[in-house]
C-alpha cells in the first residue's frame, strides 16, 4: 500500500474540519487497523462498540438482537477496515452507517421470521411451555456471554468472536489477524478461561 510522502501521512492523522480530536484518534486507529494492527482495532472496538450497541438498540428495541448486531458489525469493521476513507468522513460515522444498515436488515429478517412463526403457530396452536422457557433461557444466556466477552481485552476477545461467531478455524483466525497460529491458540485458551470464570460468577 502506498502511504505517500511523510508530510501526507502526517496530515492524515490531524483533525479534519468539523471533526473532534477524539474522532481523529479513532480515524487514526482504524487506518492502522486496516494495515493489520490488532491493538489499534482493540482501540476502535473500545471507542465504538458502545455507540453501535446504542444505535442497534434504538432500531431493534431488543437488547439481545442488538448485542448480536454489535458483534457482527465490529467483525465487519475489522474485515473491511481498508475500505474506510477518512477524507469522506469520520470513522465513527462510517461504522455507525454499517451498524444502521445491519440493524435495519435484522429488523426485516426478524419481521419475516415472526410472520413465519405466526403462520406456523396458527397451524400448531399453542407452543409447549417447555419450548418457550428454553428459548427464554437461551436468550438470557446469550446476554451473559456477550457481557463477559465485552469484559475481555481486545486481543483476547477478537479471536473468540471470529472463531465462535464467524466459524473461522485457528488457521483462518490467525490469517485474519496476521498473527502466528500459536499465539492465536494461546490467546483463545486464555480468553476462554477468563470467559468461563466470568460465566461461573454470573451463574
Compute the 3-state secondary structure of the chain and give helix, strand, coil in percent, each to the nearest 5: 80, 0, 20
Report the pLDDT value the prediction gives residue 139, as an integer from 0 to 100.
60
3-state SS class at 27: helix
pTM, 2 dp:
0.55
Report the pLDDT value the prediction gives residue 117, as an integer from 0 to 100.
52
* Percentage, residues of the chain above pLDDT 70: 72
What CA–CA distance (Å, rounded) separates 56 from 88?
A: 23
Question: Phi, psi (5° rounding) for residue 106?
Answer: -65, -40
Region 24-52 average pLDDT: 93
Residues whose CB is less than 8 angstroms from the CB of residue 103 and which lie 6 or more positions away in sequence, other chains included: 55, 56, 59, 60, 66, 69
Q: What is the pLDDT of residues 130-183, one digit of tens each?
A: 554 455 556 666 677 777 887 888 888 888 888 776 677 878 888 878 888 889
User: Is 23 a residue whose pLDDT tops 50?
Assistant: yes
Mean pLDDT, the chain, integer: 77
Report the pLDDT value the prediction gives residue 34, as an integer from 0 to 100.
92
Amino acid at each position: 500500500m502506498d502511504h505517500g510522502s511523510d508530510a501526507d501521512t502526517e496530515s492524515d492523522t490531524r483533525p479534519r474540519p468539523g471533526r473532534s480530536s477524539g474522532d481523529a484518534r479513532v480515524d487514526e486507529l482504524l487506518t492502522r487497523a486496516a494495515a493489520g494492527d490488532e491493538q489499534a482495532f482493540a482501540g476502535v472496538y473500545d471507542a465504538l462498540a458502545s455507540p453501535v450497541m446504542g444505535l442497534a438498540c434504538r432500531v431493534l428495541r431488543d437488547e439481545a438482537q442488538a448485542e448480536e448486531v454489535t458483534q457482527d458489525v465490529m467483525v465487519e469493521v475489522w474485515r473491511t477496515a481498508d475500505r474506510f476513507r477518512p477524507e469522506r468522513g469520520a470513522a465513527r460515522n462510517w461504522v455507525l452507517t454499517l451498524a444502521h444498515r445491519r440493524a435495519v436488515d435484522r429488523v426485516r429478517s426478524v419481521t419475516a421470521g415472526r410472520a413465519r412463526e405466526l403462520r406456523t403457530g396458527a397451524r400448531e396452536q399453542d407452543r409447549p411451555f417447555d419450548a418457550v422457557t428454553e428459548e427464554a433461557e437461551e436468550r438470557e444466556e446469550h446476554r451473559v456471554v456477550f457481557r463477559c466477552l465485552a469484559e475481555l481485552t481486545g486481543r483476547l476477545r477478537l479471536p473468540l468472536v471470529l472463531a465462535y461467531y464467524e466459524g473461522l478455524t485457528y488457521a483462518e483466525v490467525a490469517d485474519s489477524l496476521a498473527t502466528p497460529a500459536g499465539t492465536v491458540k494461546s490467546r483463545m485458551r486464555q480468553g476462554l478461561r477468563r470467559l468461563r470464570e466470568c460465566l461461573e460468577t454470573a451463574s
